Each structure stands twice: as C-alpha cells, then as structure tokens.
Amino acid sequence: MAQTFLRTVFTDTTRQLQAADGSREAYARMEGDGSAGRDELGEREAEFIAARDSFYLASVTGDGWPYLQHRGGPAGFLHTLPGNVLGFADYRGNRQFVSMANLAGDARVALFLMDYPNRRRLKLVGRARVVTAGDDPALVSALMPAGYRALAERAFLIDVVGFDWNCPQHITPRFTESQIAAAVAPLNTELATLRAENARLHTILKEKTA
C-alpha cells in the first residue's frame, strides 16, 4: 500500500488542487487513516528492486534546489535489507560529493526505479545515511556486487518511508544490449542452421553439375 507515500508527498496545496479537479475523494481513500507509520516493502517490491541495474536518486541542496543523480551497477546492486531499508555500495566516482553534502543537511531522498521493457516504475521516499568503508568495512563489502570492477568507498542506507507503483502510461519500452541479445538468440541459431543447410545444398548442386 502507498498510504504513507501519498501522505508524505501530498501537501495542503496538492489536496486543494485535487479537490478542484474532482480527484480528491479517491485519493483520500488511498491515503487511509494515517495509522501506518510507513509503507512496508514486500516480496513484489523486493523482486523488482533486485532486478534493477540502475535507478535515480533525488536529494535537495542546502539552497533548496532539487538534485537528481543516476546510480548504476549489475542487476541486484541495490539491496533490500531488514527493517525496511535499502542499501547500495557507493563507488569511487568524479568526487563531487553533491549527494553526500545534500544528505548532511537533509536526509530526505526519493528514488525512481524503471523497468522499461515491462513498462513498470516504482517510486520510493525515505531518509538516507552514509556509512564509510572505514566505519564498517564488512557492510560496504557485503553490498558490493561480486566480481564488479569498481572501488567501493562507502555505503548508502535508506530507511524507506513510503513507496508507490505508477501506471505504465507513456512509458516507452527500451531494452538493454543483453536483453536484445537474448531475444534474438533463437533467430541467430535458426539463421546459422539455414546457412549451413544452404551451404550443404550448394555443395551438392556443384557436385551434380561438375
């Protein structure tokens, strides 16, 4: 359920606009009575998160500007941890430290996860904290994808407050190189078989006309 997510992102102005548009009654039911302290991640969310090879992380600068950053790695690099927590290893990068600086002033973040081939998306909000490799090397190592050639310097841990599944409308399907390769593999196999058969028939024809 997205009750806490909706109550978190809906402001009084949001609700006024919904009322004016006629959608407020439906969203009021979706918000519930406020008894849930957070939206609990379930098996569906965990499976979706484990299949992602990238996501977008939003934070807010000290001056109030929204800041959006892409995070990527092998599928499963974003982990679902006990206690409604997400975690991922932070690799050595361009050393700008914008997200880290933002979190030092405001721990609130939003995550946007996309599944383009199946036209699904998951939005999450929560509070993030950073754990350095010096503070907890075992944790950072555990969150590092096996065999991935990158240097992990720290880990980001996100206490998830709420999440919401969006509708698929207007999502254009996109596919990775590996997904395309898997899809066309049967065609390549059939093509190789046909080429081999064509070569065999061509050889027979040459022998008959020699």
> Hey, where are the domains in the chain?
1-37, 39-166, 175-210
Q: What is the pLDDT of residue 1?
A: 62
The residue-averaged pLDDT of 159-168 equals 92
β-sheet bridge partners, residue 124 = 111, 163
Tell me, which fold does domain 39-166 have in CATH?
Pnp Oxidase; Chain A (2.30.110)
Q: Is the pLDDT of residue 206 over 90?
A: no
Chain position carrying tokens 């040459």: 206
Distance CA 45, CA 160 (A): 12
Give 117's Cβ-side CA count (13 Å radius). Answer: 11
154: nearest Cα among 129, 127, 172, 176: 129
Model confidence over 67-94: pLDDT tens digits?
Answer: 999 999 999 999 999 999 999 999 887 7
Model confidence over 22-73: pLDDT tens digits?
Answer: 999 999 999 988 777 899 999 999 999 999 999 999 999 999 999 999 999 9
Give residue 206's identity as a one-letter amino acid code.
K
What DSSP designation does 116 have? T
